[in-house]
Amino acid sequence: MATENGRLLVCNCNQTMPLDSATGALAQGDGAPFIHSALCRSQLGNFRDAVAAGGPLTVCCTQEAPLFGEIGQEGGLDEEALTFVNIRERAGWSDEAAKAGPKIAALIAEASVAGAPTTQVSLSSDGICLVYGKDQSALDAARQLSARLDVTLLLKESAGIVPPSLMDVPVFHGRITRSAGHLGAFEISVDDYAPANPASRDAFSFDRPRNGAVSKCDLILDLTGETPLFTGHDKRDGYFRPDPGDPVAVQKALFELSDMVGEFAKPRYVDFKPDLCAHSRSRKTGCSRCIDVCPAGAISPDGDVVAFDPYICGGCGACNSVCPTGAAHYAFPQTTTLVERLSVLMQAYADAGGRDAALFVHDPVDGSAMVDMAARFGRGLPAHVIPFAVTQVTQIGLDFLAAAFAFGVGRVVLHAHPRKQDEIGGLAGQIGLAETVLTGLGFDSGRVELLIESDPDAVESRLWSMERSAGVSPRFFLPLGGKREIMDTALAQLRLAAPTPVDTIALPPGAPYGRVNVDVEACTLCLACVSACPASALLDNPEAPQLSFVESSCVQCGLCRNTCPESAITLEPRINFLTAAKSPVVMKEEEPFHCVRCNKPFAAKSTIDRIVKTLAEKHSMFATPEAAQRLQMCEDCRVVDQFETVDNPMGGGARPMVRTTQDYTDGTVSDDDESIH
Side-chain half-sphere of 556: how many Cα atoms within 13 Å?
A: 18
**Mean pLDDT along residues 394-411:** 97
Is pLDDT above 70 for 675? no
Per-residue pLDDT tens for 513-537? 999 999 999 998 989 999 999 999 9
What integer pLDDT is reported at residue 623 of this predicted model? 84
Residue 27: pLDDT band with limits 50, 70, 90: low
What pTM does this model have?
Answer: 0.87
125 C-beta neighbours (distance < 10 Å), count: 22
Three-state DSSP class for residue 11: strand
Amino acid at 489: T
CA pair distance 56, 662, nearest whole angstrom: 90
- Contacts of residue 426, defined as CB under 8 A and 6 or more positions apart, other chains included, come to 289, 292, 293, 318, 319, 321, 322, 394
What integer pLDDT is reported at residue 671 of this predicted model? 56
Residue 646: pLDDT band with limits 50, 70, 90: low
- Contacts of residue 502, defined as CB under 8 A and 6 or more positions apart, other chains included, come to 440, 441, 495, 577
CA pair distance 417, 429, nearest whole angstrom: 18
CA pair distance 380, 93, nearest whole angstrom: 6
Pairing outcome for strands 35-36 and 6-11? parallel
Q: Are 172 and 191 in contact (CB under 8 A)?
A: no
CA pair distance 644, 73, nearest whole angstrom: 88
What integer pLDDT is reported at residue 543 of this predicted model? 84
φ, ψ of residue 248 to 5 degrees: the values are -65, -45
Q: Are 127 and 218 in contact (CB under 8 A)?
A: yes
Per-residue pLDDT tens for 330-377? 998 888 999 999 999 999 999 999 999 999 999 999 999 999 999 999
Closest C-alpha among 343, 391, 351, 349 to residue 367: 391
CA pair distance 454, 415, nearest whole angstrom: 9
CA pair distance 62, 13, nearest whole angstrom: 11
Residue 649: pLDDT band with limits 50, 70, 90: low
The overall average pLDDT reported for the chain is: 92
Per-residue pLDDT tens for 378-393? 999 999 999 999 999 9
CA pair distance 2, 27, nearest whole angstrom: 10
Residue 677: pLDDT band with limits 50, 70, 90: very low
Q: Please give the C-alpha separations between residue 419 and each of 37, 279, 415, 450, in angstroms, as whole numbers.
A: 40, 30, 12, 14
CA pair distance 270, 314, nearest whole angstrom: 10
CA pair distance 48, 82, nearest whole angstrom: 13
Per-residue pLDDT tens for 590-613? 888 889 999 988 888 888 888 898
Q: Are 457 and 378 in contact (CB under 8 A)?
A: yes
Closest C-alpha among 300, 347, 273 to residue 534: 273
Q: Are 359 and 404 in contact (CB under 8 A)?
A: yes
**Mean pLDDT along residues 173-186:** 97
Instruction: Check residue 233 and report its DSSP letter.
Output: G
φ, ψ of residue 108 to 5 degrees: the values are -70, -40
Asked if the peptide bond before residue 333 counts as cis, ω within 30 degrees of 0, the response is yes
φ, ψ of residue 374 to 5 degrees: the values are -65, -40
What integer pLDDT is reported at residue 668 of this predicted model? 61
Is pLDDT above 50 for 298? yes
Side-chain half-sphere of 273: how many Cα atoms within 13 Å?
A: 16
Range list of β-strands (E), 198-303: 213-217, 219-222, 239-240, 262-267, 270-272, 280-281, 284-285, 299-302
Q: Are 46 and 36 in contact (CB under 8 A)?
A: yes
Q: Are 34 and 7 in contact (CB under 8 A)?
A: no
**Quick one: how far is CA 273 from the chain centroid?**
11
End-to-end Cα, the chain, rounded Å: 106
Q: Please give the C-alpha separations between residue 131 and each of 149, 176, 189, 312, in angstroms, as whole numbers.
A: 11, 12, 14, 20
Q: Are 311 and 123 in contact (CB under 8 A)?
A: yes
